Amino acid sequence: MVQPENTIVKRLQSLTSHLEQENPLLVDAIDGFKKLDSIGYKTGMIRRDDSYAMQISWWPLVSVLGVFSAGKSSFINSYLGANLQKTGNQAVDDKFTVVCFGEENDGRVLPGLALDADMRFPFYRVSDEIERVAVGEGRRIDAYLQLKVANSEKLRGKILIDSPGFDADDQRSSTLKLTDHIMNISDLVLVFFDARHPEPGAMQDTLTHLVESTINRADSTKFLFILNQIDTAAREDNAEEIVAAWQRALSQKGLTAGRFYTIYNEDAALPIEDAATKARFESKRNADMAEIDQRIQQVETERAYRIVGAMEKQAYNLRDEALPALTHLKKTWASRVLRFDAIVAATLVVIVLGVALATGTLAAMFTFILSLFADPISMLAVIVVLGAFAAGVHFFIRSRVARYMLKKMAKSDEAIYSEAFKKNTRFFRSVFSSKPVGWNKRSVKTANEVIEFASEFVQKLNDQFANPSGIKGG
């Protein structure tokens, strides 16, 4: 049987080989993730068959999100210069489609398993995440994902993701989980809205998820909000009114700054008869498309910063959030166990004394206890029996308290600490130690080393992509 550790080693070796060919600078980043893995394994924060390096996308990633029929697929086809995605007025694609470069397999479609089982792609083991939010759905990964191959130079070295619209979706919880996952790992997120439906009031839930939940993110600048199919406003020449309606809707969700792009697909556009109107619409569309294209071209550079940022963030999270939270959970568990131990012990003493008083055997009981001092063997036997009983009660209590807390944690944000909490509450773990298993001075030092390594790595990236000093060759 292949050990989980061996599987991880092979997968990281495969990733290293890939990066050596694609971007050698990023190979060093794997060492930082390995150090974080060592902390994660010891503390139980991640499983032995997992790695923090597998929880991010190592390829530059551009995702296209939005409502049904907002022109997402048409945009991708136009951008790639290939008729890859189905288009139409209805929801023609109900899966997340990952599009990558391939010369020999142009047009080939592969099932979701190809993504779920390959750590190089951004959906590695995402079936586990789906299963957590929708029991049974994780086994239906092919119903959510597919991989398409396209021979387009614009795809070389990057990945595009086309998402299904998610208003009125039958598998909403799982779809939103995948959408959140995509937003977290993407280098650039294009959020599409439909200019043909200028009243955004019916899409409040979509706006909330795609706008309100993104504006306060540290990486909010990677979100581009695009009002597509604006050519439909040419006949009435009311593009400004439509844009203003959407801007009001977005501002109500908190988006008061940032670029708002208006575009349309020239191949599918309605004829614009007035020459002046046509020229104005084309000029605005071309300017916005040029900016969008420029941002897409930048994702390879942004990817490198994203990866080192993810490494640094994970180190800070372990040191300043996860382990302190786990410490609090362990202290809470220990405190409750000891409290219940005391309550049970006090209750038993009261019951025994009460029975002795009620039956008039209190004096006899004390006489028996005193006689034990004269008979060491009998005393030892009594101590063993009482100790075994007390131990049984204690371990029953600690088990029940742990199960109760795990049940509560499963319904909260603390669910991510469940496995580590189990490791810290096993029967052989002391209730008198508040430190989480594996969290010690060496672990703190390792986390600090990764944070320092991340800073040095950013300097390397700056040296590669910029020249702050302005010195030639420097």
pLDDT at 292: 92
Q: How far apart are CA 156 and CA 60, in angstroms?
A: 10
User: Same structural domain for residues 287 and 332?
Assistant: no
For 345-352, the CB contacts below 8 A with 24+ separation are: 345/390
pLDDT at 78: 84
User: Same structural domain for residues 142 and 263?
Assistant: yes
User: Same structural domain for residues 420 and 274?
Assistant: no
What SS3 state is found at 42?
Answer: helix
Report the CATH number at residue 183: 3.40.50.300
pLDDT at 146: 84
| Sheet order of strands, 109-111 included | 109-111, 145-150, 96-101, 159-162, 61-66, 188-194, 223-228, 260-262
For residue 431 the two structure tokens come to: 């209730």
User: Same structural domain for residues 365 and 425?
Assistant: yes
pLDDT at 256: 57
User: Same structural domain for residues 257 and 124?
Assistant: yes
Q: How far apart are CA 243 and CA 248, in angstroms?
A: 9
DSSP 466: -
Q: Which of 172, 176, 288 is nearest to 226 (CA)?
A: 288
Residue 415 lies in a domain: yes
Residue 367 lies in a domain: yes
User: Same structural domain for residues 275 and 343?
Assistant: no
pLDDT at 276: 85
pLDDT at 139: 72
pLDDT at 290: 92
Number of domains in the chain: 2
User: Same structural domain for residues 253 and 340?
Assistant: no
Residue 454 lies in a domain: no
pLDDT at 170: 47
Q: Which residues of the chain have pLDDT under 50?
A: 1-2, 90-91, 168, 170, 202, 474
pLDDT at 327: 94
The Cβ-side half-sphere exposure at 286, using a 13 Å CA radius, reads: 6
Q: How far apart are CA 93 and CA 228, in angstroms?
A: 18
Q: How many other CB atoms sit within 10 Å of the CB of residue 156?
A: 11
Torsion angles phi and psi, residue 68, rounded to 5: -60, 140
Crossing angle of the two packed helices 441-465 and 299-317, in degrees rounded to 10: 160
Q: Which of 2, 8, 1 is nearest to 40 (CA)?
A: 8
pLDDT at 102: 80
User: Same structural domain for residues 164 and 222?
Assistant: yes
pLDDT at 168: 44
User: Same structural domain for residues 282 and 335?
Assistant: no
Residue with tokens 């990964």: 141
pLDDT at 2: 42
Residue 305 lies in a domain: no
Domain limits for position 77:
60-297
User: Same structural domain for residues 64 and 188?
Assistant: yes
CB 146 within 8 A of CB 109: yes
Residue 23 lies in a domain: no
Q: Which of 279, 306, 230, 265 is nearest to 80 (CA)?
A: 265
Q: What pLDDT, in 10s, does the model give residues 101-143?
A: 887 777 788 888 887 777 667 677 777 766 665 667 667 777 7
User: Same structural domain for residues 260 and 380?
Assistant: no
Residue 117 lies in a domain: yes
Q: How far apart are CA 330 and CA 327, in angstroms?
A: 5
Residue 402 lies in a domain: yes
What SS3 state is found at 109?
Answer: strand
For residue 159 the two structure tokens come to: 């990945």
Residue 315 lies in a domain: no
pLDDT at 66: 81
User: Same structural domain for residues 293 and 329?
Assistant: no
Q: Which of 329, 66, 336, 13 is nearest to 182 (CA)?
A: 66
pTM, full prediction: 0.72
